[in-house]
């Protein structure tokens, strides 16, 4: 029969960064991290201690924290994540903010989220823009299953989920706003075999040899699916702003701009389809 174990003993044996270990133990045990810090002599029951030891081992092996606990916060909400989807990142919140700014004044905007992954962008827009009609696509059925779970929990009945390779499955439908956080890392990027990226789906990270393959495809196809004066907003790499703006210009977009994230790096670029 397994025995209870003191907080201090568990944290001391975890062999990971102390603060991270305490957060893992909090999730494994249901005891707030502040309480664990204040009472290191507290006994943790055997099932929780076993769960924590397994989680600490996985973290030592480099598995992302979010995959271990099964969720990540984005725009103030908790989203279920698994290795089938990218882990939502804080810089993507800028894409959401720009989308809200574009759509807020519209009475009933039709919004399309391409490559939705966990559904974080689509669900957030549905929550923040209750007047919007939100559609989200992904080529991965496994990703759409996770997105639908998040949609049911946070925006039930508000989002249409479609399995589609970017815009290929949308027929003649048009939208006032299209957003995407597509794969944009070059295939030879040295960071791919490092850190959290090792565990995330490669197809959601790599955008061809130069990182622009998916962006080019989206920009080329988007005009036929945008209403007049509709916006296309894209997240991209910190060094791709000029390339994305040039791509948008070549496709006939106007009011083209790039917005920087909190680190001062180019992060979101977009343009407006010409009003006919």
What is the band of 146 on the pLDDT scale with cuts at 50, 70, 90?
very high
Average pLDDT, the chain: 96
pLDDT in tens, 69-78: 999 999 999 9
pLDDT of residue 266: 97
Separation in Å, CA 209 to CA 206, 213, 214, 216, 240: 8, 8, 11, 12, 13
Contacts of 217 (CB under 8 A, 6+ apart): 166
Residue 1 has pLDDT above 50, yes or no: no
Mean pLDDT of 253-272: 97
Q: Would you identify the CATH topology of the domain 85-272?
A: Rossmann fold (3.40.50)
pLDDT of residue 262: 93
pLDDT in tens, 98-110: 999 999 889 999 9
pLDDT in tens, 168-178: 999 999 999 99
Mean pLDDT of 114-125: 98
What is the band of 179 on the pLDDT scale with cuts at 50, 70, 90?
very high
pLDDT of residue 195: 87
pLDDT of residue 2: 62
Residue 257 has pLDDT above 90, yes or no: yes
Task: Count CA within 13 A, CB hemisphere, residue 35.
Answer: 11
Cβ pair 103, 177 in contact under 8 A: yes
Residue whose pair of structure tokens reads 């945008």 in the numeric block: 226
Mean pLDDT of 158-165: 97
């Amino acid at each position: 029969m397994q025995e209870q174990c003191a907080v201090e003993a568990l944290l001391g044996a975890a062999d990971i960064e102390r603060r991270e270990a305490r957060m893992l133990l909090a999730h494994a045990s249901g005891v707030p991290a502040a309480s664990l810090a204040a009472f290191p002599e507290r006994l943790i029951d055997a099932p929780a201690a076993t769960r924590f030891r397994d989680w600490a081992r996985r973290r030592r092996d480099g598995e992302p924290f979010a995959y271990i606990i099964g969720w990540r916060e984005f725009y103030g909400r908790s989203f279920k994540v698994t290795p089938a989807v990218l882990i939502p990142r804080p810089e993507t919140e800028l894409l959401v903010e720009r989308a809200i700014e574009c759509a807020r004044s519209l009475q009933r905007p039709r919004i399309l989220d391409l490559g939705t992954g966990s559904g974080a962008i689509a669900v957030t827009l549905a929550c923040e823009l209750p007047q919007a009609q939100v559609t989200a696509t992904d080529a991965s059925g496994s990703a759409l299953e996770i997105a639908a779970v998040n949609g049911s929990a946070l925006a039930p009945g508000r989002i249409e989920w479609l399995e589609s390779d970017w815009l290929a499955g949308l027929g003649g439908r048009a939208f006032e706003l299209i957003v995407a956080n597509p794969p944009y890392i070059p295939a030879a990027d040295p960071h791919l075999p490092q850190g959290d990226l090792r565990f995330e789906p490669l197809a959601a990270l790599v955008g061809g040899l130069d990182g622009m393959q998916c962006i080019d495809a989206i920009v080329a196809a988007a005009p036929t699916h945008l209403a007049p004066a509709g916006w296309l907003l894209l997240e991209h790499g910190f060094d791709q702003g000029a390339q994305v703006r040039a791509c948008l210009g070549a496709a006939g977009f106007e009011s083209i701009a790039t917005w920087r994230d909190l680190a001062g790096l180019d992060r979101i670029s977009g343009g407006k389809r010409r009003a006919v």
